[in-house]
Chains A and B, each alone.
Chain A
């Protein structure tokens, strides 16, 4: 990473939003383009943090703080790069746990890893009804609905959500569904028609990228 980005990268890693805004201002004053700041500093720093988390060299709170700082910086940069915003977001995802399931730590990890890797995420929280997933996905113009579950009897609601999307001709071509969590396995995911399954937060990022690429290939995402 270029030396000029050191202050901003450090502020993201430290979870210091004030220092991050100062560093961003300094970069803008030097004439660095907002998109360059995003691609060459923010994204690279987040990737590095993601890799460190994968090796458990850093932990969830560090990721949350870094992600919060990036949100603050993004809010500042976005108006300056209207035309290029889409280049900084690799996809939009609504995420939540299946109806009846209150266990959210796994879901939170996936949500965070997706954000860290450039996805825009709307987190619907726990025990989300199938229709609420669909409404949120339409409202957010999401590419992916991601559902997590820990308890076996909540899986039918995951299946309901998939059927509601797949059975709707206007939604089916443009929204992919990925699932995960303790009782979910790749065979079950395939059986109920999910587009993707992931075993953990790292796999979720890879799978989400693949699904967005499929939508792009199919002309369903610009």
Chain B
């Protein structure tokens, strides 16, 4: 079935599935079924390591997630109905997931591959300050700091705080104008940096469907689209309008969902199941060819605590072993620019990414991704170097490196080591890192080499 026919099928299901209140969906479908499958498939994380090598657990988690999704479905908030798929349908549709895509154009085109757990194929570096607020006057230097990095393969933009001095509000003409402005600026900066064909993800400023669709004409063939699912396992017409437009125009969707650790999925076992199921749902219902689901901590707002790394290690290991999805890891980290904490965290999450079957590493988002101006291209460069180094080491070495890093940042997470904004860590006129920030990066790199990472 092609995507257009399948889209109509999804819409039909959203109009004809069982009617249910949202609260009943949360408790009777999501919570109850997670509890059931965790017990039925014995989902339990008993290892102490960060990077699981319990392949049997991964396989059970996959079966549990398919069983769970078939009995839970995806809730359509606008129709008040559940979009349902049988286990057989889920397995069949997942078998259609492409294992390879080319994003970007011309010299800037990049291959994105489905990866196995210890694959030596490189993860694509989506080194980007995704959605972090940035004052308008710093938008250009901030974006330049990333696009000028040769190891950045794909870009995703920060959220500009104003447009020509005006506060942007969703569902208004300002949002429509801001969407166009964002694309025009991004394309201009990419050309200036000599990366005219770099794959860009749009449109970050356009939250609503109207803002999004009006600026989608800017998207090139090699660009991708960001569409988020509402947690847990919910869509609405705003989301599906964006999806419908993307399907009609054959655009690649890099969808996402960010379940809350400790939320409806509960602790580690339930989160493993939920993470897999949400990845599957992103492909089934939202046609995301490069989806990403990262459990977020409810109090720390990061996704690199030990528990979260363990969840991702099993969940993405399961996906990697059972279907061709190209998975994306998006990282929200506690450390901000100008701190070594951030750099240790970047190492840790990229060990996870490279050794758990991910295809794309997106971020890092320093200072939990919400502090205005807290981002710089240097950490994206570091990420690109780490991806290359990680491809050359075995799983056990990656585990050891991750342990070393966690020892350096684990206790710092709740201290909010937010560091400094871009204009304090970079020379804004030359768009080069300031000496102290560059020195920190070099020192951590040296340290990583002593831990066994073959960095250039």
A residues apposed to B, CB below 8 Å = 53-54, 56, 59-61, 64-65, 99-106, 109, 151-157, 182-183, 185, 200-202
The contact string, 1 if C-beta is below 8 Å from chain A, for chain B 219-256, is 00000000000111000101000000000000000000
Instruction: State whether B299 touches A156 (Cβ < 8 A).
Output: no
B167 in contact with A156 (CB, 8 Å)? yes
B207-A59 in contact (CB<8A): no
Residues of A with C-beta under 8 A to B263: 59-60, 105, 109
Binds A, one of B45-53, B168-176, B347-355: B168-176
Q: Is the CB of A153 within 8 A of B175?
A: yes
Residues from chain B with a CB closer than 8 A to the CB of A105 are 231-232, 259-260, 263
Q: How far is the CA of A156 from the CA of B162 in the complex (A)?
A: 11
CB distance from B37 to the nearest CB of A (A): 14
18 further A-B pairs in the complex, CB-CB below 8 A; given A56-B299, A100-B169: A59-B263, A60-B264, A61-B27, A61-B266, A102-B230, A104-B230, A105-B260, A105-B263, A109-B298, A153-B169, A153-B211, A154-B207, A156-B169, A182-B301, A182-B369, A185-B370, A185-B372, A200-B298
Which chain A residues lie closer than 8 Å to B211 at the CB level? 153
- Which residues of chain A come closer than 8 Å to B161, judged between CB atoms? 152
Interface residues of B in 350-393 (CB under 8 A from A): 369-372
Q: Chain B's nearest CB lies how many Å from the CB of A170?
A: 27
Query: What residues of chain B lie closer than 8 Å to A59, measured between beta carbons?
Result: 262-263, 265-267, 270
B208 interface hit (Cβ, 8 Å): yes
Q: Which residues of B contact A (CB under 8 A)?
A: 26-27, 31, 77, 131, 133, 159, 161, 167-171, 175, 178, 205, 207-208, 211, 230-232, 236, 238, 259-267, 270, 298-299, 301, 369-372
* Distance in Å: Cβ of A5 to nearest Cβ of chain B: 26
A102 B205 Cβ-Cβ under 8 A: no
Residues in chain A near residue B267, CB distance under 8 A: 56, 59
The distance in angstroms between the C-alpha atoms of A102 and B270, with both chains bound, is 24
User: What are 17 residue pairs bridging A and B, where the CB atoms are less than 8 Å apart in the complex?
Assistant: A54-B299, A56-B298, A59-B270, A64-B31, A99-B171, A100-B169, A101-B170, A101-B207, A105-B232, A105-B263, A152-B131, A152-B205, A155-B167, A156-B168, A182-B301, A182-B369, A183-B133
Q: Specify which chain B residues have a CB less than 8 angstroms from the CB of A157 in the assembled complex.
A: 169-170
Cβ of A127 to closest chain B Cβ, rounded Å:
9
Q: Do most interface residues of chain B lie in helix, strand or loop, or is the interface mixed?
A: loop
Residues of B within 8 A of A64 (CB): 26-27, 31
- A60 engages B260 (CB within 8 Å): yes
Residues of B within 8 Å of A104, CB to CB, are: 230
Shortest C-beta distance, A162 to chain B (Å), equals: 14
**Taking A60-B263, A100-B171, A156-B169 as contacts, is the C-beta distance between A201 and B230 under 8 angstroms?**
no
CA–CA, A106 and B260, complex, Å:
8
CA distance in complex: A56, B169 (Å): 35
Contact A152 B262 (CB under 8 A): no
User: Shortest distance in angstroms between B130's beta carbon and chain A's nearest beta carbon?
Assistant: 12
**Are A152's CB and B159's CB within 8 A?**
yes
Separation of A106 and B238 alpha carbons in the complex (Å): 20
The verdict on A102 contacting B298 (CB below 8 Å), with A60-B260, A153-B168, A182-B369 known, is no
Nearest A residue to B211 via CB reads A153
A151 and B208 alpha carbons, distance in the complex (Å): 10
B264 / chain A contacts, CB cutoff of 8 Å: 60-61
Contact A151 B207 (CB under 8 A): yes
- Structural contact, B298 and A201, CB atoms closer than 8 A: yes
A153/B205 in contact, CB under 8 A: yes
Q: Which residues of B contact A101 (CB under 8 A)?
A: 170, 207
A182 surroundings in chain B (CB, below 8 A): 301, 369-370
Which 6 A-B residue pairings sit nearest by Cβ, starting from the closest?
A: A100-B170, A156-B169, A153-B170, A59-B266, A61-B31, A151-B207
Taken together as a complex, chains A and B put the C-alpha atoms of A100 and B264 apart, in Å, by 23
Q: By the criterion CB–CB under 8 Å, are B207 and A202 in contact?
A: no
CA distance A183 to B365 in the complex (A): 13
Chain B residues within an 8 Å CB radius of A183: 133, 159, 370
Q: Separation in Å of the B431 CB from the closest CB of chain A?
A: 24
Cα-based distance from A104 to B369 in the complex (angstroms): 18
Query: Which residue in chain A gives the minimum CB-CB distance to B26?
Result: A64
Q: Which residues of A contact B31 (CB under 8 A)?
A: 61, 64
Q: Which residue of A lies closest to B260 (CB)?
A: A105
Q: What is the CB-to-nearest-CB distance from B226 to chain A, in angstroms, rounded to a whole number?
A: 12
Which of A65, A103, A152 has a CB less than 8 Å from the CB of B230?
Answer: A103
Chain B's closest residue to A160 (CB) is B169
Q: Is the CB of B133 within 8 A of A102?
A: no
Shortest beta-carbon distance, A156 to chain B, in Å?
Answer: 4
Residues in A with CB closer than 8 Å to B259 are 105
CB-CB nearest in chain A for B271: A59
Contact of A100 among B133, B207, B301 (CB under 8 A): B207
Closest partner residue, chain A, to B239 (CB atom): A102
Measured CB to CB, the closest approach of chain A to B157, in angstroms, equals 12
Give the Cβ gap from B234 to chain A, nearest Cβ, in Å.
Answer: 9
| Inter-chain contacts of B205 with A (CB < 8 A) | 152-153
